[in-house]
C-alpha cells in the first residue's frame, strides 16, 4: 500500500491555484505548489516542512484537546495555543480566591505548572492511503456505510496491534478517498501561562470574527513524558518533553507582502457542496442556531453579570456557545452578501452543460442532480427540527445534557444486568458527577431550560417530542411550572441526591429530566434520523459523483480536500483589504487601539491596571517597531477555519511570527466558498506575545527558554 502520496485519479496536479486559497496536504507538497510558496518567500524544502523520517515542521504541530491546534516553541516541550482553546482548563483551576480567568496565571518554575486531567495533545506519526482497503466489498449504496465501517474497524485493529497509538481513517473528496492517520498521544499536559482576561479575551463577543482586533489570544502549556521520553499519564516523576522540533520566535516584525505559512488542523469546510446545502444554511440551519444560542446566551449573561462565582463557572461555557452563535450570524449574512447560492447554481449549470456535451459523461453523471434533489426534498423538511432538537433539546439545559451519560446504566438496570456490572459503571459516573457539579449553577440552568423548551415548542411545528408537545399544549407553551417542579424532583440537579442514587442505582424512567431527555433522543433517533439516513442513501452517491465530475471537468483547478481536522498547510502574505465601500483596513493594529477601546469595568473591554501603566509609559522594550509602537495583531491572506485556532504563523525561514486565532466578518461565508478579495486570517503578533510574557507576566524563566530571533 502506498504511503503519503494520494491516488493520481483523485488528486489533480497543482497548476495555477491562488497563493492564499487552499488547505494543502503537507505530506504531498510538490510541483507548482512549492514553487509558488518559494516565489512568495518560503526558503524551506518540502522535506523541512514534512518528513516522516527526519525532524521537520510537522513535529512541532499538534492537535490540541478536542478541536484546536498547538505548537512547540522550546526544546523542553513548551506548547503555545490560543487563549480560547485552553480556557476551559484554566477555568477548572480558577476560584473566587484565585481567579486565574480575570487575573491570569503565570508559572515561575516548572514546579508551579498545573496538571490538566483529560487534556491531550497528538503528534502526527504516519500517513497512508487506504482507499482500496476501505472500499473493498462495497457494492451498493444501501450497505455502503456498514461495509466501510467494518473495513475501517478491521484495518485499525490490524495496524494498531499492541501499540499505544491512536489511528483514524478519514474520508476525503466526499468519500472518494480514505487516508489513515496515526498519532502519538500525550496525556500529561500542564498549564504554564494564561494572560489576564483583559488581554486574552479582549473584545470578547463584540469583536469576535471581526477586524480590526486587539487581542492577546494565547495560553502556554508544557508537554511531559515518562523518563524514557514516551507518552504517559500524569505523574510527579514525569519530565518535560524533549522536543523533536520546535519553532524559534522571530521578533523582527512583519511587513506588507511578507510570506506567511500556517500549519494546523482545520476542522470542517464544505466548498464542493451543492446549492441545496447553501440554501439550507441560509434558510434553516443558521437561523435555528442563532435563535437557540441567542436565547441561551441571554440567560447566561443575566446570571454571570450578577455573581462572580457564576461568571467563573460559566466563562468557558459562555465562550463556547457565543463563538458559534456569532459565526452563524456572520455566515448567514455573508452567504447572502457574497451571492454564494447564485454562484453555486452557476457552477451546477456549467457542470450540466459539460455532462451533456458527451454521451459517455451522460451515462455516468446524467441523473445525479435528480438524486440530489430527491435527497433534499426529504432534508428540507427535517433539517430545522434536527437543529432545534440538538441545540434546544439534548444539548440545551445542562441537566438534560448531563443525564444522557446515564442512559447506559439505566439500560443495564432495565435489562437486569448483574450488580457487579452496574456497580462498576456507577463508580465511573461518580467522578463525572463531581466534575459536573463543580461548575454547575442550578438557578441558571433552570432559566436556560425553561427558555429553550419554550423556544423549541414555539419555533417548530413538526417532529416535536411527544412529552414536550403535551406539556406545551397544557401550559400554553410556557414550561416554567413544569421545569420548576422537575428541578425540585430530579436527581440530576442535586449532587447529594445523585451521589446517593449512585450508591444504590435504580431505574431512572420516572425522573422528569431523564424522561425528557429520552423523549427528545427517541424522537431524534427513531423518527427524524431514519429520514436523514434515507435521504443519504438516495443522494450521497450523486454528491460523490458530482465531486468526481467536477475534478474531471475543471482540469485547471487544484482540488485541495475539504478540511476534516487533519494536518494542513496554507500559504499567503501579509496584506490589508477593502472591507466595504470607503472602508479600507490596514494590515496591523497597535497597543494604541487597545487603549482606545478601553471601557472601565466592562467585561469585554476592561484592561488590567499594570497593562494600562505600561501602555501609557510606552514601555515596549525590544518589542516595539521602528515607530515605537507595539504591534498587537496582523492579518494575512491565509486560508483557515475552526480547528486552526492556535496554529502557528510561520515565516519563510520556519520561524514563528504570530499565532492564528480568527477569521474576518466579510468572509464568514468562506467555509462554503473562499472569498478571494476579502478573506483574511487574524493573527496575534509574536512581539505582543513576548511583551505579555516579559512585561506583564514577568516570566523571565519562560523568556529564557525560548529561541528568539532579533
86-99 pLDDT, tens digit each:
999 999 999 999 99
Q: What pLDDT is recorded for position 66?
A: 85
In the chain, pLDDT over 70 holds for what percent of residues?
97
Residues written for the chain: 710
Residue 243: DSSP 8-state: -
Catalytic residue among 284, 645, 647, 669: 645
**Over 60: is that where the pLDDT of 6 sits?**
no
User: Can you tell me the distance from the alpha carbon of 196 to that of 611, in angstroms, rounded to the nearest whole number?
Assistant: 10
Q: Cβ(442)–Cβ(487) under 8 Å?
A: yes
> How many Cβ atoms are within 10 Å of 533's Cβ, its own excluded?
12
Pick from 80, 172, 72: nearest CA to 123 = 72
Cell numbers for 3: 504511503
Instruction: Spell 420-430 as b/e; 16+ CB within 10 A means b.
Output: eebeebbeebe
- Alpha carbons within 13 angstroms on the beta-carbon side of residue 462 total 11
User: Can you tell me the distance from the alpha carbon of 432 to that of 430, in angstroms, rounded to the nearest whole number?
Assistant: 5
DSSP-assigned letters across all residues of 92-157: HH--SSS-HHHH-EE-SSGGGPEE-TT--EEEEEEEEE-HHHHHTT---HHHHHHHHHHHHHHHHH
- Alpha carbons within 13 angstroms on the beta-carbon side of residue 251 total 21
Annotation says 303 is catalytic:
no
Q: Cβ(539)–Cβ(376) under 8 Å?
A: yes
Mean pLDDT, the chain, whole residue set? 95
**Over 60: is that where the pLDDT of 211 sits?**
yes
Catalytic residue among 188, 217, 441, 445: 217
Annotation says 217 is catalytic:
yes
* Contacting residues for 162 by C-beta, under 8 A, at least 6 apart: none
Pick from 521, 578, 573: nearest CA to 407 = 521
User: Can you tell me the distance from the alpha carbon of 641 to that of 564, in angstroms, rounded to the nearest whole number?
Assistant: 10
Q: What pLDDT is recorded for position 32?
A: 67
CA-derived radius of gyration, the chain: 26
52-61 pLDDT, tens digit each:
999 999 999 9
User: Can you tell me the distance from the alpha carbon of 101 to that of 92, in angstroms, rounded to the nearest whole number?
Assistant: 10
445-475 pLDDT, tens digit each:
999 999 999 999 999 999 999 999 999 999 9
Average of per-residue pLDDT across 58-70: 96
Q: Cβ(645)–Cβ(68) under 8 Å?
A: yes
Distance of CA 163 to the CA centre of its chain: 28
Q: Cβ(15)–Cβ(30) under 8 Å?
A: no
> How many Cβ atoms are within 10 Å of 255's Cβ, its own excluded?
12
User: Can you tell me the distance from the alpha carbon of 501 to that of 607, in angstroms, rounded to the nearest whole number?
Assistant: 46
**Over 90: is that where the pLDDT of 2 sits?**
no
Identify the three-state secondary structure at position 263. Answer: strand
Per-residue pLDDT band for 10 (boundaries 50, 70, 90) equals very low
Q: What pLDDT is recorded for position 30?
A: 62
Annotation says 645 is catalytic:
yes
Gap between the terminal Cα atoms of the chain: 46
Residue 590: DSSP 8-state: E
Identify the three-state secondary structure at position 215. Answer: coil
Catalytic residue among 83, 84, 214, 303: 84
Amino acid at each position: 500500500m502506498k504511503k503519503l502520496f494520494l491516488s493520481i485519479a483523485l488528486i489533480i496536479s497543482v497548476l495555477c491555484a491562488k497563493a492564499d486559497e487552499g488547505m494543502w496536504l503537507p505530506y504531498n507538497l510538490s510541483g507548482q505548489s512549492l514553487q509558488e510558496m518559494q516565489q512568495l518567500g518560503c526558503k524551506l524544502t518540502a522535506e523541512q516542512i514534512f518528513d516522516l523520517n527526519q525532524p521537520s515542521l510537522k513535529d512541532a504541530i499538534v492537535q490540541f484537546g478536542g478541536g484546536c491546534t498547538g505548537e512547540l516553541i522550546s526544546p523542553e516541550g513548551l506548547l503555545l495555543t490560543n487563549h480560547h482553546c485552553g480556557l476551559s482548563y484554566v477555568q477548572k483551576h480558577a476560584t473566587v480566591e484565585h481567579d486565574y480567568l480575570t487575573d491570569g496565571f503565570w508559572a515561575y518554575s516548572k514546579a508551579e505548572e498545573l496538571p490538566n486531567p483529560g487534556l491531550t495533545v497528538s503528534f502526527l506519526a504516519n500517513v497512508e492511503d487506504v482507499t482500496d482497503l476501505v472500499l473493498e466489498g462495497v457494492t451498493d449504496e444501501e450497505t455502503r456505510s456498514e461495509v466501510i465501517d467494518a473495513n475501517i474497524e478491521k484495518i485499525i485493529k490490524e495496524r494498531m496491534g499492541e501499540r499505544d497509538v491512536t489511528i483514524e481513517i478519514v474520508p476525503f473528496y466526499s468519500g472518494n478517498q480514505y487516508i489513515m492517520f496515526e498519532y502519538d498521544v500525550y496525556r500529561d499536559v500542564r498549564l504554564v501561562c494564561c494572560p489576564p482576561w483583559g488581554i486574552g479575551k479582549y473584545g470578547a463577543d463584540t469583536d469576535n470574527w471581526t477586524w480590526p482586533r486587539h487581542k492577546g489570544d494565547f495560553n502556554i502549556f508544557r508537554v511531559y513524558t515518562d523518563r524514557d521520553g514516551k507518552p504517559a499519564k500524569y505523574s510527579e516523576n514525569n519530565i518535560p518533553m524533549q522536543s523533536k522540533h520546535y519553532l524559534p520566535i522571530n521578533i523582527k516584525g512583519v511587513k506588507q507582502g511578507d510570506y506567511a505559512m500556517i500549519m494546523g488542523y482545520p476542522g470542517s469546510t464544505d466548498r464542493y457542496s451543492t446549492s441545496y446545502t447553501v440554501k439550507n444554511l441560509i434558510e434553516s440551519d443558521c437561523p435555528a442556531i442563532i435563535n437557540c444560542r441567542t436565547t441561551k446566551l441571554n440567560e447566561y449573561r443575566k446570571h454571570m453579570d450578577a455573581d462572580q462565582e457564576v461568571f467563573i463557572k460559566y466563562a468557558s461555557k459562555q465562550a463556547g456557545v457565543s463563538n458559534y452563535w456569532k459565526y452563524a450570524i456572520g455566515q448567514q449574512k455573508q452567504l447572502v452578501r457574497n451571492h454564494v447560492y447564485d454562484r453555486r447554481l452557476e457552477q451546477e449549470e456549467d457542470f450540466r452543460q459539460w455532462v451533456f456535451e458527451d454521451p459517455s459523461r451522460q451515462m455516468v453523471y446524467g441523473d445525479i442532480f435528480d438524486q440530489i434533489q430527491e435527497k433534499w426534498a426529504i432534508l428540507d423538511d427535517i433539517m430545522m427540527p434536527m437543529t432545534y432538537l440538538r441545540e434546544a433539546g439534548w444539548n440545551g439545559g445542562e441537566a438534560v445534557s448531563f443525564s444522557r451519560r446515564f442512559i447506559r446504566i439505566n439500560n443495564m438496570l432495565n435489562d437486569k444486568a448483574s450488580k457487579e456490572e452496574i456497580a462498576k459503571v456507577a463508580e465511573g459516573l461518580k467522578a463525572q458527577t463531581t466534575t459536573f457539579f463543580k461548575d454547575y449553577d442550578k438557578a441558571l440552568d433552570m432559566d436556560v431550560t425553561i427558555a429553550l423548551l419554550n423556544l423549541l415548542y414555539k419555533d417548530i411545528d413538526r417532529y416535536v417530542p411527544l412529552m414536550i408537545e403535551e406539556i406545551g399544549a397544557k401550559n400554553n407553551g410556557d414550561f416554567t411550572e413544569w421545569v420548576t417542579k422537575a428541578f425540585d424532583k430530579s436527581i440530576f440537579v442535586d449532587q447529594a441526591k445523585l451521589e446517593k442514587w449512585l450508591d444504590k442505582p435504580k431505574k431512572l424512567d420516572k425522573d422528569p429530566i431523564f424522561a425528557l431527555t429520552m423523549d427528545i433522543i427517541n424522537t431524534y433517533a427513531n423518527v427524524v434520523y431514519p429520514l436523514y439516513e434515507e435521504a443519504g442513501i438516495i443522494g450521497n452517491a450523486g454528491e460523490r459523483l458530482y465531486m468526481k465530475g467536477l475534478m474531471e471537468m475543471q482540469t485547471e483547478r487544484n482540488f485541495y480536500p475539504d478540511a476534516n481536522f487533519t494536518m494542513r498547510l496554507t500559504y499567503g502574505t501579509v496584506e490589508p483589504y477593502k472591507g466595504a465601500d470607503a472602508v479600507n483596513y490596514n494590515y496591523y493594529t497597535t497597543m494604541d487601539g487597545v487603549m482606545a477601546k478601553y471601557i472601565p469595568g466592562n467585561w469585554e473591554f476592561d484592561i488590567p491596571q499594570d497593562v494600562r501603566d505600561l501602555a501609557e509609559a510606552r514601555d515596549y522594550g525590544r518589542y516595539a517597531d521602528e515607530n515605537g509602537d507595539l504591534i498587537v495583531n496582523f492579518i494575512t491572506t491565509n486560508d483557515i477555519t475552526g480547528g486552526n485556532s492556535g496554529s502557528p504563523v510561520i515565516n519563510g525561514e520556519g520561524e514563528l511570527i504570530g499565532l492564528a486565532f480568527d477569521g474576518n466578518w466579510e468572509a464568514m461565508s468562506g467555509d462554503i466558498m473562499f472569498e478571494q478579495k476579502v478573506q483574511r486570517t487574524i493573527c496575534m503578533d509574536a512581539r505582543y506575545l513576548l511583551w505579555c510574557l516579559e512585561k506583564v507576566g514577568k516570566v523571565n524563566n519562560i523568556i529564557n527558554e525560548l529561541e528568539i530571533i532579533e
